[in-house]
Structure 1
Amino acid sequence: MASPAVRPAFAYTIVYVSDVEKSAAFYAAAFGYTVRRQDQSHKWAELESGATTIAFTPLHQRETDGLSGEVKLPDSAAARGPVEICFVYEDVDAAYKRAVDEGAVPVSAPEQKPWGQKSGFVRDMDGNIVRIGSHVRE
């Protein structure tokens, strides 16, 4: 009899950024997180974000460039990367306003979606898309 599959814990989402220190400070201010750890080499920072860690590392990391290739950011305001970060809030409108007030680039204001989520979209300083949404209730 085969042993049951082991489901690993989802530990990190790593965001490759142009400036680790500025990105960590921006995400803390714009989305309400606390910076948990920031490496003095400016090559790593983490936010206190619950069970899963949001981490930042430079676009060009010697440890990974040779393994997986160069990281490419969106090259225009109309382009988007292959990953989207989503933060869930009770008050989506207030969270969206806070993010924009703290320097997030507005993409689309919050609106009610057909699947039951209210969400709006912003970009961070590197062009990454961040969804500010409500929890989808079933």
Structure 2
Amino acid sequence: MVKVHDVIPDIPVSDIDAARGFYEDFLGLGNEEFNLGWVARFTSAETGAHVQLVTEDATAPLIPVLSLKVDDIDAAYAEAVDRGFDIVHPLTTEEWGVTRFFVRDPDGNVINITAHRE
């Protein structure tokens, strides 16, 4: 069984800068953890709640609905393959430092399974 230690909603937006005020000011997610131009994470300094705003994906064919941080990315990938799940984006170590893959859930939602390798 996969051990998930963080769940981050991925929200499709047309323009991160245009959406910034709503998420930072109105929702109080004022800490921009990172911004790669096509994806940015906004977090509440008070509660730790966060969302990712996504305009596209730099290396994958689809925008996921969720990003799940897991403790063992290799085991998670092996289990997804063993269970015959639809892998939308293969296990890849991305240039921005994460290893991830995308898998489709039974209802067709695309989930980004991710981890930072130590």
Same fold (TM > 0.5): no
Structure with more strand by fraction: 2
Higher relative CO (CA 8 A, sep ≥ 6), structure 1 or 2?
Answer: 2
Query: Which has the larger Rg?
Result: 1
